[in-house]
Amino acid sequence: MSDDFKRVESRDCPMSTCAAPAGSPCRTGKGRVAIQYHTARFRLVPSLKKALNVPTPAVRKPGAAWTELPRPANANAEPTGHARLGYARASTARQSLDSQLDSLTEAGVTRIFSEKISTRATTRPELDKAVVLAGELRASGVRVTIVVHEHKRLGRGIELAALAENLKAGDIGLEFLTGELQGSHDPSGVVFTVLAALSGMEREYIRDRTLEGHESARKRGKTIGGAGVVDDHMLSMALHLRDQEMSLRDIAAQLVITKGKKKGEHPSPATVMRMLREHDERPTAADT
């Protein structure tokens, strides 16, 4: 599940008709959890400024009755302590972690997460555990720094930038014991700012290339994604159910595909969201 919603919910919603406080999802005028966050709110997050929408995750129960959730710990509050969590990684099982572990121990780190896994791996379980623990400690009011021997142990390029952006949102610091970025870096510092900017540029590039590819495919009469399962009746029914403020998951469960290989099945919530978004973005007679 994406962490975008956490970044959005770190701020109050500026929409007067919503005014959801930090820590809570956006709400509709009828007191329901909104299917997606209000544009004015998610655009407060630099990396999401050019996003078309930010869906509300299932954990927030879109379409359910809205209730105020606890506010996150005040990042501006004076920390009550300082936790230093270490992370060490080697790319192959034959590589030794000893030098990294020794340097982390000498740096005063008391809790170390380590693993032998390739940089190309999409998930790194021990790093994920370190980040989760860091977030829990920070939420309790403790100042937290993740300490690594060298920045390459965390990842390269977009991976490192995305991780730094995630840590910045959680007000978690980074410290590198050696290498080009050696030193301690505060979440509000220049290193985090640069890495977050690189992450935003990479996301925008990928998004633009994807949209260009979709447009090129459409010109050639090719079907994009799940669009082939959509028909006018399904769209009409989906719009009606959305007016009832049902969640995407519940809307999908009410619809049935009437053609193609998936005939008789329900469309996915992602297909429903794409169908509704394309309808909303379609020019109306008043626009032409």
| Rounded average pLDDT over 34-39 | 92
Residue 237: closest CA among 219, 252, 247:
252
Q: How far is the C-alpha of 85 from the C-alpha of 104, rounded, in Å?
A: 9
Largest CA distance in the chain: 69
Q: What is the DSSP letter of 24?
A: S
For residue 54, give every residue at least 6 positions away whose Cβ sits within 8 Å of its Cβ, in sequence order, or none. 4, 5, 8, 36, 37, 42, 48
Confidence (pLDDT) at 74: 52
> Which string of b and e fits 8-30 if b means at least 16 CB within 10 Å?
bbbebbebeebebeebbbbbbee
Q: Is 104 exposed, middle or buried (0-12, 13-18, 19+ CB in 10 A)?
A: buried
Give residue-wise pLDDT tens across range 102-129. Answer: 999 999 887 999 999 886 676 789 998 9
Q: Which helix (H) or strand (E) holds 85?
A: strand 82-90
Integer CA distances (angstroms), 277 to 62, 162, 242, 273, in order: 16, 26, 12, 6
Mean pLDDT of 173-178: 89
N-to-C CA span, the chain: 39
The yes-or-no verdict on residue 79 having pLDDT over 60 is no
The yes-or-no verdict on residue 269 having pLDDT over 80 is yes
The residues assigned a catalytic role are 91
The predicted structure's pLDDT at residue 66: 95
- Average model confidence (pLDDT) across the chain: 79
pLDDT of residue 78: 46
Percent of the chain residues topping a pLDDT of 90: 21
- DSSP run (H or E) holding 197: helix 190-219
Other CB atoms closer than 10 Å to residue 133's CB: what's the count?
Answer: 16
The residues spanned by each domain of the chain are 1-72, 82-199, 227-283
Record: fold of 82-199: Rossmann fold (3.40.50)
